[in-house]
Structure 1
Amino acid sequence: MEKVHVICIPFPVQSHITSMMKLAKILHSTGCHITFVNSEFNHQRLLNSRGPDSLKEPFRNLIYKLNSAKHPNVLPVSCIVSDIPMCFTLQTAKEFGIPGILYFPISFSAYACFLHLPHLMQRGLIPPKGMQNRYYSCRRIDDLHLYTPSLVY
């Protein structure tokens, strides 16, 4: 069986990088070949930063170079695992015919809130009536659980 080559691309903040690195280590322990993508900005910060950058075009070029490499130690990319804020990678995955997986390294409760935001906004519960523009003082929503679909009852 051919070895799987997984690209891991976290959102460039410490907690997301740490979480994705842990996932990459787990995948590596199962025999996957891992390429961990970091922004030029973060790489340079490690070497005394020079400023923010975009990864969209450099990422596409990286995939092209990896898949075009003729060296026996460079495997073609089999899969791309990227943090949700780095969703531009899905377009690149589609372009190259590679499976793309979105990874969201947050707690389940935070994820549930994220999923329910459109539902709560549609019902007029967010932003809460009484929320002031400059300071976030909110009225209490005692029966919020009655308005929010849940996976746990």
Structure 2
Amino acid sequence: MGSTEVATKPHAVCIPAPAQSHIKAMLKFAKLLHHRGFHITFVNTEFNHKRFLKSLGSNSLDGLADFRFEAIPDSLPDSNEDTTQDVTLLAESVRKNFLAPFHALLLKLNNDAIEASSNPTVTCIVSDGFMSTFTIKAAEEIGAPIVLFNTIAACSFMGFTQLRAVVEKGLVPLKDESCFTNGYLDTVIDWIPGMRDIRLRDLPTFFRTTNPDDVMLNFIMESTDRAHDASAVVLHTFDALESDVLDALSVGE
């Protein structure tokens, strides 16, 4: 393949949420894009990048000429690579610390493309939906379209989009811990398009807190608030399974 042909290939920068299941799903999606002719840059956190190298060997992420791996810092204290990182601390860091290094990486990739004509410039970003708190901003700053890849079903995504509404309606945060056992979670939620017979307990469990400043609740709400700013949203589902919800989401767009 000539350098001119490589340089004109579409270049997708894929960045998963830094959790095992999200990384695996994004990697499979990136492989499909690569198979369809995309140049891929796959971005892990340094913590997870090191875990891959430790598990699979020092050359395991050398990649191909058109499928490369990069890493950005997560700004968390060093921890044992054999343990799972604290999800709450990680979510807080995603909100506050990931934009600058990710934006710097995008600029580096584009500068490298200018200096070496065999590499294409970034043409789009494929971001995990839970990373949108910074990836949409980064995409706007370099003028690239962004696709949010949600590694969840359509009903889960719809549930996440409703968390802001249940807060605004005063249903969440919970008044006290008795709400977990006194039947409060059976409160009917009848306004969600495409989802009938839903109770409060059927929504994603991140709302189950008595703290209005709960990190995970606010992280999820901020992530879904900006979904409509993406060029496209990909959901891990198929139409025959969740047609009602998918139709409702399409109308909402």
Other structure's SS at 2:177 match: coil
**Paired position in structure 1 for 2:188:** 144
Alignment check: 8 A CA contact 1:7 1:37 kept: yes
In 1, Cα distance between the equivalents of 2:195 and 2:139? 34
How big is the alpha-carbon RMSD for the aligned residues of Structure 1 and Structure 2?
Answer: 2.8
User: Residue 143 of structure 1: CA displacement?
Assistant: 6.4
More displaced stretch, 90-99 vs 12-21: 90-99
User: Against the structure 1 CA distance between its residues 124 and 58, is the aligned structure 2 distance closer, same or farther, given a 3 Å change threshold?
Assistant: closer
- Identity rate, percent: 38
Q: How far is 1:55 from its partner?
A: 3.5
- The alignment status of 1:73 with 2:79, answered yes or no, reads no
**Alignment match, 1:94:** 140
Match of 2:39 in 1: 33
Partner SS, residue 63 of structure 1: helix
Report the secondary structure of 2:103's partner residue: helix
Q: What residue number does 1:17 align with?
A: 23
Task: Report matched runs for 1:33-72 at 5 Å.
Answer: 33-47=39-53, 50-51=78-79, 54-69=97-112, 70-72=115-117
The superposition leaves residues 99-152 of structure 1 with CA deviations (integer Å, 9 ceiling, x where unpaired) of: 1222221112211211122223333444566x516x83351565625x222225
One-letter code aligned to 2:41: T
Where does structure 1 lack aligned partners over 5 or more consecutive residues? none
Judge which range, 18-27 or 112-121, deviates more.
112-121
Equivalent-residue separation in structure 2 for 1:86 and 1:96 (angstroms): 17
Runs (5+) with no aligned partner, structure 2: 55-77, 80-89, 197-253
How far apart are residue 31 of structure 1 and its match?
0.6
Q: Secondary structure at the match of 1:151?
A: coil
Provide the TM-score with structure 1 as the length reference: 0.80
* Displacement of 1:93: 1.4
Q: Report how many aligned residue pairs link the two structures.
A: 150
What is the CA distance between 1:57 and its match in structure 2? 2.3
Matched with 1:8 is 14
